[in-house]
């Protein structure tokens, strides 16, 4: 059994609506410390929607509604007195398509710290270098920090986006299909990076690629039609699924 202190985010009976459409029903699961949690499932099953609920990114879409609780550090993220801006500072996010700002590499990484009011050049330098090293891109860009981030390749851009998220010193890192726009080599570099990051950050990764989930994650949750069907240790889930739907999905009978 896992001790409660190992749980970073506890989701209880989460329902989510886009207007009248119920996109998620009754999802409950735990995100644990020092682990990679993978969310898998066919397209439209609600896994990305669920991920975006963990840092309140869905607040930006008008006409959505949330019921249930997402407890982070003992506090429900959807309580009235919680400011979503504060949540997003503490829970970082990396998107499907690399989306660096049309600014220099340095300014991309420094964007978050500057929002936090860090103006001191030395401290910014330190933070940028540390984040780029953590995201395993420092060696490639150390001589071109003033160049536009858009001059990097897709895989480099994605690692830069990870560095940008890490510069905020987040408590959790959310990744929404971070390799779906990348080639196999860039993908394996990101996967190595995810492995390395889990020592310091709990990672939640959405992927449509089951092999990827099997390679990088410790726990896997299978989503289908807006419900969380099954969750457990990745190896166990892929070898001995408890539910029939899970088995059908991982054996490729639908998807």
Partner 1 sequence: MTPAMSEGDVQMSSLSAGGNQDSNSTTSVVELKVQEGLPKYFFLAAASTSLLVMALIMIFLFREGLAIFGKVNPVSFFFGKAWYPTYDPPEFGILALIVGSVSVTLFSSLVAIPLGVGTALYLSVLAGPTVREYVKAAVELLASLPSVVLGFLGMVVIAPAMQQILDVPTGLNIVSASIVLAIMAIPTITSISEDALYAVPRDNLEASYALGATRWETMSRILVPGALSGIGTAVILGMSRAMGETMVVLMVAGGAAQIPSSLFDSVRPMPASIAAEMGEAPFGGEHYHALFAIGIVLFLMTLIFNLVATYISNRFQQKGASTL
Partner 2 sequence: MTGAGSRRYRMMTERVAFGVIRLLAGLVVITLGSIVLFFALSGCERHQLVFPD
* Residues contributing to the site for partner 1 (CB under 8 A): 55, 57, 60, 62, 85-90, 92-93, 95, 97, 99-102, 111-112, 115, 148, 150-151, 161, 164-165, 168
Pairing of strands 172-176, 203-206: parallel
The mark string for 6-45 relative to partner 2 (x by CB under 8 A, - otherwise) is: ----------------------------------------
Q: How far is the CB of 112 from partner 2 (least distance, A)?
A: 12
Question: In Å, what is the CA distance from 148 to each residue of 106, 181, 209?
Answer: 9, 20, 31
Q: Is 116 in the site for partner 2 (CB under 8 A)?
A: yes
Tell me how far apart the alpha carbons of residues 224 and 25 are, in angstroms, rounded to a whole number: 10
Tell me how far apart the alpha carbons of residues 253 and 255 are, in angstroms, rounded to a whole number: 7
**Which strand ranges, in their side-by-side order, compose the sheet holding 36-40?**
91-94, 172-176, 203-206, 36-40, 219-224, 227-233
Q: Is 117 in the site for partner 2 (CB under 8 A)?
A: yes
Length of the chain (residues): 255
Binds 130: which of partner 2, partner 1, none (CB < 5-8 Å by kind): none
Q: Which stretches within 63-117 are classed as H helix? A: 84-90, 105-115
Pairing of strands 203-206, 36-40: parallel
Q: How far is the CB of 83 from partner 2 (least distance, A)?
A: 9
Collapsing DSSP to helix, strand or coil, 148 comes out as strand
Binds 117: which of partner 2, partner 1, none (CB < 5-8 Å by kind): partner 2
Q: Is 126 in the site for partner 2 (CB under 8 A)?
A: no
Q: How far is the CB of 83 from partner 1 (least distance, A)?
A: 9
Binds 189: which of partner 2, partner 1, none (CB < 5-8 Å by kind): none
Q: How far is the CB of 118 from partner 2 (least distance, A)?
A: 10
Q: How far is the CB of 209 from partner 1 (least distance, A)?
A: 21
């Amino acid at each position: 059994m896992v001790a409660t202190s190992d749980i970073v985010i506890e989701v209880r009976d989460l329902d989510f609506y886009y207007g009248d459409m119920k996109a998620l029903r009754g999802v409950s699961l735990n995100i644990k410390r020092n682990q990679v949690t993978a969310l898998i499932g066919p397209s439209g099953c609600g896994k990305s929607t669920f991920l975006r609920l963990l840092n309140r990114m869905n607040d930006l879409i008008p006409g959505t509604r949330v019921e249930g609780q997402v407890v982070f550090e003992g506090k429900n993220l959807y309580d009235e007195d919680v400011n979503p801006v504060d949540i997003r500072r503490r829970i970082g996010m990396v998107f499907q398509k690399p989306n660096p700002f049309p600014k220099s590499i340095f300014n991309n990484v420094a964007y978050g710290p500057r929002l936090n009011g860090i103006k001191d050049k030395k401290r910014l330098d330190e933070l940028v270098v540390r984040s780029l090293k953590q995201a395993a891109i420092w060696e490639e860009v150390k001589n071109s920090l003033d160049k536009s981030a858009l001059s990097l390749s897709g895989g480099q851009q994605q690692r830069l986006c990870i560095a940008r998220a890490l510069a905020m010193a987040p408590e959790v890192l959310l990744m929404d299909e971070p390799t779906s726009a990348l080639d196999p080599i860039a993908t394996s570099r990101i996967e190595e990076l995810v492995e390395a990051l889990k020592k310091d950050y709990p990672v939640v990764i959405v992927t449509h690629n089951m092999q990827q989930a099997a390679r990088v994650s410790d726990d896997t949750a299978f989503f289908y039609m807006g419900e969380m069907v099954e969750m457990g240790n990745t190896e166990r889930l892929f070898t001995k699924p408890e539910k029939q739907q899970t088995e059908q999905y991982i054996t490729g009978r639908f998807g």
